[in-house]
Structure 1
Amino acid sequence: MSKSHADYIISTVESDHVGTRLTASWRRSMVKHGLDPTRTPAPKRFSDMEIQERRARLGGFMDLATPQLDHLFQMVGNTGCSVLMTDRDGVILDQRSKDADSDTFQDWGLWAGFDWSEKSEGTNGIGTCIAEARSLIIHRDEHFMSRNTVMSCMDAPIFGPDGELIAALDVSSCRADQTEAYTRLISGVVAQTAKQIETEAFRAAFPKARIITGPEERPEGAVLLAVDQDDLIVGATRAARRAFGLGLGGKIDPRPASDILGRDSTSSALERAERAALKRAIARAGGNMSAAARELGIGRATLYRRMKRLGIGENGEN
């Protein structure tokens, strides 16, 4: 089976057929990175000191992501799955698995410190997710390396407050009987968890700014803008950058929010967006103003002032 898998990979790459995104990744693995699908050694593992240094580079992001990783593991841990988070280089920095499955995942190299970049391991959930900056599933024999065809991997990228890719979230399964439908279900949960981590990291990066939610949710994440006390946009999530043409990464030059969101003769789009964000937060909190303020990242007194300015009543009504 291992031999036929390698032969299929090689023949596909050597053909002139353009193929799919998957075959493009196989081609990168073999042609660009010079990898052999029959290679048997386990993935490269970095030293404990290097792992700590990589974690330190992410600062408070690791602590911020921990509750979301714990919650995700509670949902999938009993089904033969591990939860992993890597840095942007594909090096695993945090992982969770049941004791009964730990030996398997360690043997596979799905453990803290192992390098799962595409240049190291070829097509795989973590590395290809990072290389293509998108959510994906790499199921069993879709992997480049024959020895990795025993696993199924569901991954999503996490973008930092500056719009640059900062990490990857992975759920890997050791179950040979995992169905395609269940794999897709887990993939959706992984993508949603990655978006939640990204949202919380963005809010934490702009603690003094007003966070405005865009009118539409996009597949790649929440459309969030950080606006300062002068109504200047000082930050935007990756999805917001795409939505409003602010560039995909790097520092944003402050600009009036009304220039980005537009305005009409009655109330600015900024006010409409702010009103909608406040009303959603109040509705989610069931009218609990303290909880609504926490979700918005502002104080309760500030929430009441903004409600008054926007004409929002105690029950979130206009």
Structure 2
Amino acid sequence: MSRLSGHIERVMEVTQSASAGARSRLAASWYRSRARHGLDPAEHRAPERLEGKALDARRQDHEKFLMVATPRLDRLFSLVGQSGCAVLLTDSEGVVLDQRVNESDADVFASWGLWSGANWSEAREGTNGIGTCLEERRQVIIHRDEHFFARNTAMSCIDAPIYGYDGQILGALDVSSARSDQTEGFNRLIGAQVAQTARAIEEAHFRAAFAEARIVVSESDDTEASTLLAIDQNDLVIGATREARRVFGLDATGALAPRPAADIFGRGDGPSGFEKAERAAVIRALARAEGNVSQAARQLGVGRATLYRRMKRLGLDDI
């Protein structure tokens, strides 16, 4: 029995049972590919691919995403490209929007369908790095015969999801290898770099979306996630990354209703929010004036005597 025939037989055997998903995540993906999407592991058709105006329109729809991703794709490719790897960026449907590949490896990746415009969703290509990453919303490594289609078992794919400023998934970052001697240990090393680059793209996209806001970086137990909040000039939280939404109990997706940053961070305004705001404004003015009350009063547009009275009322007369 050939290697490909053996792979097809194994996939068919695993997917015969509806309880396959309980065995492992890989078995669950194989089962989805067979039962939900009606795919046959022995199929030899080429991946579906957008070209020309259809691909241009898809890229235009993701112009800002591609703009912030471009230098980071270049940086990642500079690290892995000489090892026979290609770097691909997809949209949320698994369509490849951009790629980086060495000329010497281009024919191999093109023959596999790992090329701009190709649709690598799990619904089209079964278990694969891009499609399964998007389906399961997590970082994945699909190594050689872990793929669903027998024709894809010569490749190793390492992927991480990228989320947008609204908490919705934007796409996947993929590094695929053309090396026959690619090891699982090397895949894990590449996987760490893929995850780091995906988070860098996610963070840059978030900052670009809230360019006028103050960006606050918070802590999270997930070291591979960006935990950012966007705060406007009124100290209202107007945006949060997916991980920040989880950490602070905000809506998982969609536009956020503006909320005071003090509420988000668990610091109440006390009996008088206006009094707290006034106190903060006076402290800032005094700091800018290096303690000169007359100068601070001019900044606030009030008289010196008025500022002294306010400082006393606010408990700042000993500053």
TM-score of the pair, normalised by structure 1: 0.82
Indicate whether 1:58 and 2:40 are aligned: no
| Equivalent residue number for residue 278 of structure 2 | none
| Equivalent residue number for residue 92 of structure 1 | 96
* Partner residue of 1:2 out of 1, 4, 25: 4
| Equivalent residue number for residue 38 of structure 1 | 42
Aligned-pair distance for 1:148?
Answer: 0.2
Aligned-pair distance for 1:206?
Answer: 0.5
- Quote the RMSD (CA, aligned, Å): 1.9
Alignment of 1:1-318 (within 5 A): 1-15=3-17, 16-17=19-20, 18-216=22-220, 218-263=222-267
| Equivalent residue number for residue 317 of structure 2 | none
Q: Deviations over 1:223-264 (max 9, x none)?
A: 100011111100000110111111221111111111111128
Structure 1 residue runs of 5 or longer lacking an equivalent are 267-304, 312-318
- Percent of matched pairs sharing the same residue: 52
Amino acid in the other structure paired with 2:227: V
Residues of 1 paired with 2:237 and 2:229: CA distance? 7
Residues of 2 paired with 1:22 and 1:247: CA distance? 30
- Paired residues of 2:159 and 2:172 also in contact (CA < 8 A): yes
Aligned-pair distance for 1:216?
Answer: 3.1
- Paired residues of 1:48 and 1:113 also in contact (CA < 8 A): no
Aligned-pair distance for 1:220?
Answer: 4.7
Q: Match of 2:63, SS? A: coil
Aligned-pair distance for 1:83?
Answer: 0.3
Residues of 1 paired with 2:6 and 2:222: CA distance? 40
Amino acid in the other structure paired with 2:206: F
Q: Match of 1:60, SS? A: helix
Larger Rg: 2
- Paired residues of 1:151 and 1:175 also in contact (CA < 8 A): yes
Structure 2 residue runs of 5 or longer lacking an equivalent are 271-283, 291-319
User: Aligned pair in 2 of structure 1 residues 182, 233: CA closer, same or farther (>3 Å)?
Assistant: same
Q: What is the count of residue pairs matched by the alignment?
A: 271
Amino acid in the other structure paired with 1:118: E
Residues of 2 paired with 1:141 and 1:218: CA distance? 30
Amino acid in the other structure paired with 1:229: Q
Q: Match of 1:14, SS? A: coil
Residues of 2 paired with 1:48 and 1:241: CA distance? 38
Aligned-pair distance for 1:265?
Answer: 10
